[in-house]
Chains A and B, each alone.
Chain A
Amino acid sequence: MKKKWMFLVLVAIFGMAFAQTVKIGLTVSKTGKFNVESVNQLNGIKLWQKWVNDQGGIAAGGKHYKVELKFYDDESKAQRVQQLYSRLISQDKVDFLISPYSSGLTAKAAIISEQYGKIMVATGAASDSIFKLGYENVFQVYTPASRYLTSTVDMIKAADPSLKKIAVVYEDSKFAKAVATAARDYAKKLGLDVAIFEGYPPSTTDFGPLINKIKASGAGALIGGGHYSDGATFARQLYEQKAPLKMIALLVAPASDEFAQLGDAALGVAAPSQWEPLVKYTQSCGPSPQQFTEMYEKAYGKEPAYRAAGGFAAGLILQKAIMDAGSVDAAKVRAALDNLDITIFFGKIKFSTDPASHGLQLGHEMVQIQWQKKDGKLVKEIVWPLAAKTAKLIYPIH
């Protein structure tokens, strides 16, 4: 009995001494258009790295793998992404990949991961189309674009059954276009009249012509937007030009804490969110939503935005798959990811295994938030689904 115990201690000591590493590569938009979102996401990933290494690494097949991160700045540019992912694979010899932020950049990185047969967990990328190209190594964490804004339409419809006309104005990017198209089709199915359906170039800074058009159309609600910088500008100019809208729901931007800097322009603006600190999921592994939020606040001094949660979730999913596979062998981990069906602090995670949409996220669901005033301060409240709400939806906002 004593011998066995000694043996276990020895194994543990050797295990620690010869701890192996698993190298995970990614690019981060430290500069450029996506810097707010992408750095948030990186914070989440780094927090996961620290969390898992504090526990001695990923335990798989009797070994402990310490997590090592390797990342470069992609400057939010598609051209850089492909060069850097090739470099991560062929020069830095990483074992697994995590995607950059945004669908556009992830689509680029996915091609490289597929060409070299490296597994990539895609977080911060909601586009469906990436997963319709026959890839076998890319796995999506976020709720895909096709289901992104549909619950927003439900929410507006529930708040105001008499509303007839809405406007859909989106950033002409891979992600926002996919989301907007799905939302338009869904709104039409519910009998709403989509008075404007129009994209604007990602570099747009002057929304004046579009806002005039929205006013002229007589639409009562606006849904659309794209990413952080264009969305924040759009919201500010909507406010300055006094657009008579009863509801404004924008992608991405209002779901960031930075959005509060807009002051009164932020008030009443709603957004679909992948995750909020107040969600109630019962996790089967990893931290609880509350534990994650506390950890994050302790590390970075602010509340985690959903991109940060998505970053942590990407790491956690990879970790779970490696544990299930019992090794870091790519084929085994791929099979484990295919079989994954879990609930973590981020929500339910399950990937499509249909060859026509392999890797698409099937399990995860959205919540809706709205910026409201509480004791004179701007706060984000969950307003939909009703079961999870922390405050009542303000409608109309003007």
Chain B
Amino acid sequence: MVEILSSVMDGLLIGLVYGLAAIGLTLIFGVMDVVNLAHGAIIALGMFFLYLFFGAGLHPYLALLPVAVLGFIFGVIVYQIAVRKIISGPPLMSLLATFAVSMIIIGVGTALWSTSPYNINFKVTTYNFFGYTVTSARLVSAVAAVLVTFGLYYFLYRTVLGKAVRAVANNREAAELMGIPSQQILAITFGIGTMLAMLSGALIATLFPFTILSGGVYELKSFVASVLGGLGNPTGALFGGIILGLIEGSVAPFIQVSWTNVIEFVIFVGILLFFPTGLFGGRK
């Protein structure tokens, strides 16, 4: 019994981090109809930014702050260069533009860090609650993911800028008529989405070893999580991430672990086909 509960708890903790990554993806889609194929590369970049700050002597959790700032700036730059011009074009254009960004990031990353694995080596404590063992790193990453999500909600619902983002998401033309500078709002949104992706990457880096190519796995997980929750719906994405984590944790005792991915992708295609707005309702 304890073992099953452990699996479920582990799944929940990692699921929250998946959820954070998925929010980054789904926010951008919800506001500007762009599926960001650079998402995985950005997650990986977050891992390496953390690695750099950590190497400079910062505690990994303290280093999350500069990673977030860099993530936001990076996102705004990517938006201005690669996305702004084609934002109103067909979906193929934005898919390819963001994919091009992904190639560039991975290319530069490979040149800088090769594709060999890296580790964040810091002191991790292990706790034991009634037979359930958990590391401090896992607990902190889950808590951090929750805090960032709360922060995002506070921003979207309690600040003027956040309300403007939601207005642009609902109807760009109407928002512009109301005097909201939609281009700036879109750039800020892209920046926030990128920041969330980088933060999730940085949190993952405190748990597992990573390479510049590691983002691909989490990009696919973000797709699954955000489609589960309804593309464009941040709350849904968080729950999608939790569901994903729970699936990974809870099916493990019963089947071979390597089958979990098959289950995830079958669910993914199934949801797209039969519940295209996801389990929690998509945008609009």
Contacts and interface: CB of A to CB of B under 8 A. Distances in A.
Interface of A: 30-33, 35-36, 75-76, 172, 198-201, 203, 205-206, 208-210, 212-213, 215-216, 229, 232-233, 240-242, 261
A31 B115 contact: yes
Given A198-B257, A212-B7, 16 more contacts: A30-B114, A32-B211, A33-B116, A33-B211, A35-B114, A200-B257, A200-B258, A206-B207, A208-B14, A209-B7, A209-B10, A209-B11, A209-B249, A212-B249, A216-B253, A241-B135
23 contacts: A32-B114, A32-B211, A33-B116, A35-B114, A35-B116, A172-B258, A198-B257, A198-B258, A201-B261, A203-B217, A205-B207, A205-B208, A208-B249, A209-B260, A212-B3, A212-B6, A212-B7, A213-B252, A216-B253, A229-B117, A232-B209, A242-B126, A242-B128
Interface string B265-281: 00000000000000000
A75, A172, A212: most-surrounded residue (chain B CB, <10 A)? A212
Contact of A209 (B116, B208, B217, B257): B257
| Ranked 8 nearest A-B pairs via Cβ | A216-B3, A209-B252, A205-B208, A31-B114, A35-B116, A208-B10, A32-B115, A229-B117
B208 A210 contact: no
B256 interface: yes
B248 interface: yes
A209 B261 CA distance: 13
A206 B133 CA distance: 15
A180 to B, nearest CB: 13
A216 B118 CA distance: 30
Contacts of A32: 114-116, 211
A201 B126 contact: no
B110 interface: yes
Interface string B123-138: 0101010000101000
Contacts of A229: 117, 209
A392 to B, nearest CB: 29
Given A212-B252, A242-B133, A205 B209 contact: yes
B222 interface: no
A74 to B, nearest CB: 11
B115 A75 contact: yes
Contacts of B260: 209
B256 A205 contact: no
Contacts of B72: none
Contacts, number: 83
Interface in B212-258: 214, 217, 248-249, 252-253, 256-258
A247 B125 CA distance: 22
Nearest to A31: B114
Contacts of A261: 121
Contacts of A172: 258
A213 B258 CA distance: 13
Contact of B126 (A30, A208, A241): A241
B79 interface: no
Contacts of B110: 31
Contact of A205 (B7, B135, B210): B210
A212 B261 contact: no
B245 to A, nearest CB: 10
A232 B115 CA distance: 17
B212 to A, nearest CB: 10
Contact of B248 (A209, A215, A232, A242): A209
B194 to A, nearest CB: 23
B209 A215 contact: no
A242 B135 CA distance: 10
Contact of B117 (A33, A75, A209, A216): A33
A31 B249 CA distance: 32
B193 to A, nearest CB: 24
B216 to A, nearest CB: 9
Contacts of A242: 126, 128, 133
A76 B214 contact: no
Contacts of A75: 115
B154 to A, nearest CB: 30
Given A31-B115, A32-B116, A205-B210, A241 B133 contact: yes
Q: Which of A75, A213, A232, A233 has the most CB of B within 10 A?
A: A213
Nearest to A169: B257
Contacts of A206: 14, 207-208, 248
A76 B117 CA distance: 12
Contacts of A208: 10, 14, 249
A199 B260 CA distance: 12
Contact of A76 (B6, B115, B135): B115
A199 B4 CA distance: 20
B233 to A, nearest CB: 26
B10 A212 contact: yes
Nearest to A232: B209
B146 to A, nearest CB: 19
B209 A233 contact: yes
Nearest to A239: B126
Nearest to A244: B133
Contacts of B6: 212, 215
B116 A240 contact: no
A190 to B, nearest CB: 24
Nearest to B6: A212
B226 to A, nearest CB: 20
Contacts of B217: 203
A241 B256 CA distance: 20
Nearest to A172: B258
Interface in B123-167: 124, 126, 128, 133, 135
Contacts of B252: 209-210, 212-213
Contact of B135 (A30, A216, A240): A240
A118 B279 CA distance: 58
A27 B1 CA distance: 49
